[in-house]
A and B are shown apart, each in its own frame.
Chain A
């Protein structure tokens, strides 16, 4: 192994040099044998009047880290000189368990992984599995899934709005957003029976069709929800404190954003109009009329504007989906994959055999792989599944958008104040369940 100067995370190290360009701290070089020896210290630079840097640890158990993220900060007074994130404190081995489950059994795992976008993940997994099986779903199921994903986007952005406002100091939007979120929970609960961990889809269809009267409740929600968005907009968008605390923080240029792999609202806030629903469409999103909000500077304020605009666009999509909801079956009529209805299973011998085979051995996709990207509230989300013909996938890879967004936090927060770091961290909208899988 060649001797490499192990100045860790070199991209961070801009502030490690003093005026003459010599590293103020002697970098440790990893010797050939892996032994780490402090390199010969450069000439002792003059006493550093700014005083020693402070090393503080915003640890896994902290209200402002939105979960069990740990940030080790080297502070010069209040200014963040270097930020070293540590993740993995919520690593629960999702991908390993996926290799021991049949396809329909993995769906409950997709709720618990990104728990703010549970029903959205169910749909994403179902789409990926259906491509692996080579099935095209019924029109009614397509529109139902669009509704499910948009409701989930609204619910997820509301949690982001609530917690970001608490971090920056405004408590009321938290209560407003959770009030609206309870209404989304009611809708999901009537549809699937669970508030948050819905497991609403199956490979080839949905777990249940929507109850009657559900569309009226949704129509009522779509009609009254924009009032709350306007209220939040009126309260925050031109609020002196909010603007003062968010404008110009953690700005990422368009090229940096693309190179650092940001996706979703972060990428669009930096000016790159990449939305999976428009560029790599699924579920007939190209037939819906909605805009993709794009920011200019890529700072925390633009991300806030983009997400609030996305709330409005999701409401528009929900309204259009309500208009075009067709009748007809929800599940695909393919006995290889979808359980036959109970009445047929009990009466007709053929269906009973299919039912038995399906339950005991599970559906077997052909050998192959599939990766369907979906626009989750945090960015491009996708499940890459590799099958070797058996009922359990060989590999179930979850593409974690918020992990890659979080990996850019050292670049975003260096040179800003400690309180700005909290605002930037909130603006990335991280979900530790998805980051650590």
Chain B
């Protein structure tokens, strides 16, 4: 994979080599490591609201999470691979979520479970973060309110597929996110405003009364 400094200055654009040219040894090593990682993703259930109850139902007997190697729910970020943000994240909880994510060792991934975690969902008001991707990088978004256990399991399968496709050589994917020191955000403020723009019928909800 050749890393060319194309595009805007300072932004390295990772262009992948054509598959043919990756040699046999590294791909076998990648396959082995990724198989190990994908097979035993230890989830860190950051459960806040209704999705947490649906996550418990997914972990319970009928929709058993253990079948996917996620038996051990790691409640400390130090021993977890996947942060599953199950439920809405209010602004008061934003620094906690950011701190938990930063205290997880690499390699780490993030599943944003439910509409409220992915985009603020039905809570388009003063108190809720409009999507946790404005705080931490998210790998898989699981739609639904709450997503059915099968939906979450499908999200986990997609994440495992993503883990299997990683290459040890491109180290950018495993870099920690760079936080802008003075604002504390990791994506530029205009991007957050644009991401958090009300959409759909949420736009018409400003009229109280009538």
A and B touch in the complex (CB under 8 A): yes
Rounded to whole Å, the gap between the CB of B94 and the closest CB of chain A is 10
Binding-face segment, A1-9, A173-181, A420-428 = A173-181
Assuming the A-B contacts A115-B53, A196-B53, are A89 and B93 also in contact, with contact meaning beta carbons closer than 8 angstroms in the complex? yes
B90 adjacent to A196 (CB under 8 Å):
no
B120 to chain A, nearest CB (A): 10
Residue of B nearest to A183 (CB): B62
Give the shortest distance, in Å, between A47 (CB) and chain B (any CB): 36
Closest Cβ of chain A to B127, distance in Å, is: 4
Please tell me if the beta carbons of B53 and A60 are within 8 angstroms of each other in the complex: no
Asked if residues B88 and A61 are in contact (CB atoms below 8 Å), the reply is no
- The binding surface of chain B is classed by DSSP as loop
Closest Cβ neighbor of B54 among chain A residues: A196
The reply to whether the CB of B185 lies closer than 8 angstroms to some CB of chain A is no
For residue A388, which residue of chain B has the nearest CB? B209
- Cβ of B208 under 8 Å from chain A: yes
Q: Which residues of B contact A97 (CB under 8 A)?
A: 123, 125, 205
How many angstroms between the C-alpha atoms of A388 and B209 in the bound complex?
9
Q: Is the CB of B61 within 8 A of A433?
A: no
In residues 47-81 of chain B, which contact A (Cβ within 8 Å)?
Answer: 47-50, 52-54, 56-57, 60-62, 73, 75
B131 interface contact, C-beta 8 A: no
Q: Does B207 contact A (CB under 8 A)?
A: yes
Distance between Cα atoms of A196 and B57 in the complex (Å): 11
Known interface pairs A59-B96, A99-B208. Does A90 touch B62 (Cβ–Cβ under 8 Å)? Answer: no
Known: A96-B126, A178-B56. A197 touches B96 (CB 8 A): no
Say whether, besides A100-B206, A390-B210, A60 and B93 are in contact (CB < 8 Å). Answer: yes
Contact between A185 and B90 (Cβ–Cβ < 8 Å)?
Answer: no
What is the distance, in angstroms, from A194's C-beta to the closest C-beta of chain B? 9
Tell me the nearest residue of chain A to B60, going by C-beta: A178
B92 touching A91, Cβ below 8 Å: yes
- Listed stretches A62-70, A268-276, A290-298, A338-346; interface member: A62-70
The answer to whether B46 touches A61 (Cβ under 8 A) is yes
Question: Which of A112, A175, A185 is the most central at the interface, judged by chain B CB atoms within 10 Å of its CB?
Answer: A112
**Residue of chain B at shortest CB distance from A182:** B62
- Which residues in A have their C-beta under 8 angstroms from that of B57? 178, 181-182, 185, 195
Given contacts A68-B96, A178-B56, A392-B210, 16 further A-B contacts (CB under 8 A): A61-B46, A68-B48, A89-B90, A89-B92, A93-B127, A100-B206, A100-B208, A112-B122, A115-B50, A178-B61, A179-B61, A195-B148, A197-B50, A388-B209, A391-B210, A436-B90
